[in-house]
Amino acid sequence: MHLSQTTSSLPQGEIEMLVVDNDYAHATISLFGGHILSFTPKHDGIQRLWLSKKAQLDAKHPIRGGIPICWPWFGPHNTQTNLSAHGYVRTQAWHVVNCVDNDDHTTICLKPSVTKGEGFDGKTQLTLIISIGRELGVKLVTENTGEQPFTYTGALHSYFHIEDISDCTVTGLSGQYEDKLQAYKRLPTPMPYAFNSETDRVHLVTPKELAIKSNGHVTHIHSVGHDSIVVWNPWAEKSRTMHDMEDNGYRKMLCVETSVTQGQTVLPGQQHVLEQVIR
């Protein structure tokens, strides 16, 4: 069967958007940030990603929701505190390298305009390969094109849409996590993993399969190439301090991030692939 699809490009606010509508799914991708904003598979019609109603689509600020690409560092820069959190590609224009129709999915390949920036010396090619079918595949390929090794951190910082945070659990995590809200204190992963307050945790484990259960629906997350999983929800009080978050938005979202927080070294001529598949 040939896939019937349309990929169109249209401006929304200040940003250029790709809209993919094929037999299997509908998705939108912002070229600002190489940022997937929505993904709804047609077999169940359930939106998997959350986008803040107050997200700034001005091609200047990071977009709150969807899948921000954090690279070449995750969180604050480890030595230069003046640099933006989560690196500089989420606030850059990306361009389409190609867009291919396969039998059961559409593949879109994007690259940022610049990979070198203050705070990172590596010589690299960075490629985001997005696959839209029954599942959403996101692959971030970091290639070392220089003559020196470099180390990067980063994340596929996915914001998942949930019905209600008070009826939401995560499965697949175990062992200890570092609590960013308690000076990285190590604590045991809660079982069951439910939410009743601000959460910002680095789980130092590498499960391939995770699931978010919310109001009878299960979103499956497959991860590759990560050294940790970050789980984040700002909860009510912090949300009120964030200009791009509706007061009750935190109830509808949970970030489960396929992450490299400990540092991934890439040798000359080698590449590292960080991947998340959502279904």
- Active-site option among 35, 77, 105, 157: 157
Which one of residues 35, 48, 77, 86 is an interface residue with ligand G6P (CB under 6 A)?
86
The reply to whether 255 sits near ligand G6P by the rule CB under 6 A is yes
Query: What is the rounded CA–CA span in Å between residue 200 and residue 131?
Result: 29
Q: Is 257 a catalytic residue?
A: yes
Query: What is the rounded CA–CA span in Å between residue 168 and residue 199?
Result: 13
Shortest distance, position 181 Cβ to ligand G6P, whole Å: 9
Query: What is the rounded CA–CA span in Å between residue 55 and residue 99?
Result: 26
Q: Closer to ligand G6P by CB, 21 or 257: give it.
A: 257
Shortest distance, position 59 Cβ to ligand G6P, whole Å: 16
Which one of residues 34, 41, 62, 122 is an interface residue with ligand G6P (CB under 6 A)?
62
State the number of CA atoms in the 13 A half-sphere of 259 facing the CB: 23
- Active-site option among 135, 143, 178, 257: 257
Q: Closer to ligand G6P by CB, 23 or 227: give it.
A: 227
Burial of 136 (0-12, 13-18, 19+ CB in 10 A): buried
Residue 161 bridge partners (DSSP) = 253
Which one of residues 3, 75, 190, 235 is an interface residue with ligand G6P (CB under 6 A)?
75
Residue 140 bridge partners (DSSP) = 128, 274
The reply to whether 222 sits near ligand G6P by the rule CB under 6 A is no
List the catalytic residues. 157, 257
